[in-house]
Amino acid sequence: MTTYRAPIQDSLFVLNDVLQIQKHNNLPGFADATPDMIEAILGEAGKIAEEVLHPLNEAGDRQGCTWHEDHSVTTPAGFKQAYDLYSESGWGSLPFPEEHGGQGLPATLNAAVQEYVAASNMAFGMYPGLTAGAAAALIEHASDEQKQAYVPKMLAGEWSGTMNLTEPHCGTDLGLMRTKAVPQDDGTYKITGQKIWISAGEHDLSENIIHLVLARIEGAPEGVDGISLFIAPKYLLDDKGNPGDRNSLSCGSLEHKMGINGNATCVMNYEDATGYLVGTQHRGLKAMFVMMNEARLGVGVQGLAQSEVAYQNAAIWARDRLQGRSISGVKFPDQKADPIVVHPDIRRILMTVRAFNEAARALIYWTTLKGDISRRSDDADQVQSADDYMELLTPVVKGVITDTGFNNTVLSQQVFGGTGYTTEQGVEQFVRDARIAMIYEGANGIQALDLVGRKLPANGGRAVQAYFKEVGKLCSSHKENDAMAPYIVPLSKALSDLQAATMWLVQNGMSNPDNAGAASTDYMHLFGLVALGHMWALMAETAQQKLASGSDQSKQFLENKLLTGKFFMDRIIPASATHLVRIQSGADTMMALDAEAF
């Protein structure tokens, strides 16, 4: 049995104190997000996560989804009731514009809510999560008519959404796609093909499922520039806009997976299914990338979420489990043994995970706030800068937070000893669930390539240069501040490693692109250390200011922040040096072996 408690105090600290999102109340929707309102919303979100979603997590894993002969799929017991409650409470519409039926609240606030959902029950959270991504793509690219027909129902949770990209022979390389779309006289298309790994492709939670499908219109150019995006609803809408005739698409089978068993991962078969073109012909990939970017941040949230719930359970076990004696002297002489939290190596695990989680949470909010600004500000410079940052950091959030988040579930499991290996205990599910986040929405190697090959050089390196300047400025501003030195000195060192790595890439990646590829994953993780270190410096700055000003916030909370940040600087950020050495070793040894030698 596992437990979960939404880290509301920590969310509030980042939103209100570190990012001070109230400063942005000139943006649409932000004025509504007063500190009281934020606290109330997070309180409610925490409640549904703790009391409704988490209790379904283990049973959902064990029971999984069931495919029936009539191609319908049943979700685990309790999911439907939870889904209805979730939808009726408005959680599906929180950050979307009011004109489409949303509540218009900041996406930054929604990121906190989604962490709680993904931590309490990742498999469940994917159903509304996919719908949100599909709705975002429609809002950005669909016609007004299409938006009116689909988006409000999706935000209300009455209908759900999916994204259909992968085919058996084509995952990362979408240019190989074969699913075809044949234009019909009435302006619709007939879609035929097979899609795999379709999360939430078929289920019993919503009354309609709106599939967004990538396909190649007959006669389209080869490669990624010949792919178009279509809406293919499970039930075609009748003339009143209600679900009518069944479309000729169905779930052929469910994948059997390592984890996220509560989510239906479907093979979807389209046989002359009716589809409606979204946006322009052959520009489908661009439209889908809106969804992908939203989804990538969402997957980063999952990485943090699983790391957080794993940490919480490990911490409880470490405080309760009596085993051995502290090596620095007995701590609880009246008990037969000390709790294992007295052992430094257990502390090492807990602090490693905690120091990551708190910074990852801040980084996700920070990046999502850039997205809010990019979408809502009417100041062109501000939009450009925010957009640059969001684009730059998205692969870092996705790649680093899911890689490290997964490692953290493994570390947390280790605290339990043998107990952690049993399904009854439950922490092993976090490991299995977290594993997928490193793979889907672009495997992390692809995130690294996106960062190195696309995001760095974009606009002549404008984003990364601005970013280095911002982090550098923060460091300089505390040059004379002894209290901040434990945070600023290590961050400056890591920043200079990152700058050296960037320079190396500029000098060596052009002449031999394999050097860029060989460096990419280490570069992404080096970037992640700086980005997380940046968050720790901001959090330490805030905590010190609040402590100095005699804030009424818990002194203990602020002091623990400072200690946890110090741990990050002592133990985690120094890995930047190793990443730099690896990057600078180049591609030669890596590429030397013949393919047949492997």
Are the CB atoms for 191 and 270 separated by under 8 Å?
A: yes
Pick from 32, 39, 204, 514 the residue near a copy of itself by CB under 8 A: 514
Q: Give residues 159-188 in contact with a copy of itself (rule: CB under 8 A).
A: 166, 169-173, 175-176
In the complex, what is the shortest distance from the CB of residue 311 to a copy of itself, in angstroms, rounded to a whole number? 8
Position among 155, 516, 530, 538 found at the interface with a copy of itself (CB under 8 A): 516
Residue with token string 């790595």: 501
In the complex, least distance from residue 557 CB atom to a copy of itself, rounded to whole angstroms: 9
Question: Residues 518-557 vs a copy of itself: string with x where CB under 8 A?
Answer: x-xx----------------------------------x-
DSSP assignment, residue 318?
Answer: H
513 binds a copy of itself (CB under 8 A): yes
Spatial neighbors of 570 by CB under 8 A, at least 6 apart, are: 490
Work out which of 48, 177, 359, 438 binds a copy of itself, going by CB under 8 A. 438
Give the CA count within 13 Å in the CB-facing half-sphere of 145.
7
**Regarding beta strands 189-199 and 208-217, do their DSSP bridges make them parallel or antiparallel, or are they unpaired?**
unpaired
Q: Does 432 bind a copy of itself (CB under 8 A)?
A: yes
Q: Which of 167, 202, 441, 541 is catalytic?
A: 441
Among 44, 50, 84, 255, binds a copy of itself (CB under 8 A): 255
| 592 touches a copy of itself by CB under 8 A | yes
Cβ neighbours of residue 493 closer than 8 Å, sequence gap 6 or more: 573, 574, 576, 577
Backbone angles phi, psi at 271, to 5 degrees: -130, 95
| 101 vs 133 by CB, closer to a copy of itself | 133
Q: How far apart are CA 330 and CA 515, in angstroms?
A: 53
Task: Determine, following the binding rule CB under 8 A, whether residue 337 of this chain makes contact with a copy of itself.
Answer: yes
The reply to whether 398 sits near a copy of itself by the rule CB under 8 A is no
Task: Pick the stretch among 373-381, 382-390, 533-541, 576-584 that binds a copy of itself (CB under 8 A).
Answer: 576-584
The verdict on whether 441 is a catalytic residue reads yes
Residues 344-373 that bind a copy of itself (CB under 8 A): 344-351, 354
Three-class secondary structure of residue 364 per DSSP: helix
421 belongs to the binding site for a copy of itself (CB under 8 A): yes
Q: Is 225 in the site for a copy of itself (CB under 8 A)?
A: no
The tally of CA atoms less than 13 A away on the side-chain side of residue 295 is 27
Contact between 578 and a copy of itself by CB under 8 A: the answer reads yes
CA distance 260 to 559: 37
Q: Does 122 bind a copy of itself (CB under 8 A)?
A: no
28 burial via Cβ count (<10 Å: 0-12, 13-18, 19+): middle
Q: Which stretch binds a copy of itself (CB under 8 A): 5-13, 92-100, 365-373, 421-429?
A: 421-429
Q: Is residue 500 packed enough to be buried (19+ CB in 10 Å), middle (13-18) or exposed (0-12)?
A: middle
Work out how close the CB of 518 gets to a copy of itself at its nearest, in angstroms, rounded to a whole number.
4
Contacts (Cβ under 8 Å, ≥6 apart) of 135: 96, 100, 150, 151, 154, 155, 161
Contact residue for a copy of itself among 248, 281, 499, 512 (CB under 8 A)? 512
3-class SS at 170?
A: strand
Instruction: State in angstroms the smallest separation of the CB of 403 from a copy of itself.
Output: 9
Q: Establish if 448 lies at the interface with a copy of itself (CB under 8 A).
A: yes
Alpha-carbon Rg for the chain, nearest whole angstrom, is: 24
Report the residue from 153, 435, 525, 546 that binds a copy of itself according to the rule CB under 8 A: 435
Distance of closest approach, residue 87 Cβ to a copy of itself, in angstroms:
28
9 binds a copy of itself (CB under 8 A): no
**Both structure tokens of 445:** 């190697």
Q: Is 517 in the site for a copy of itself (CB under 8 A)?
A: yes
Q: In which element (H, E) is residue 541 found?
A: helix 513-548
- By CB under 8 A, the residues from 36 to 95 that bind a copy of itself are none
Q: Which residues in 314-333 contact a copy of itself (CB under 8 A)? A: 315, 318-319, 322-324, 327-328
Helix (H, G, I), strand (E, B) or coil at 237: strand
Give the largest Cα separation in the chain, rounded. Answer: 84
Residue labelled with tokens 């967004």:
212
Cα–Cα dist 139/97, whole Å? 9
Closest contact distance (angstroms) between CB of 581 and a copy of itself is 4
- Scanning the structure block, which residue is given the tokens 């599910």? 429
Residues 21, 342, 397, 400: which binds a copy of itself (CB under 8 A)?
A: 342
CB of 44 to a copy of itself, least distance (A): 26
Q: Does 5 bind a copy of itself (CB under 8 A)?
A: no
Q: Active-site residue numbers?
A: 441
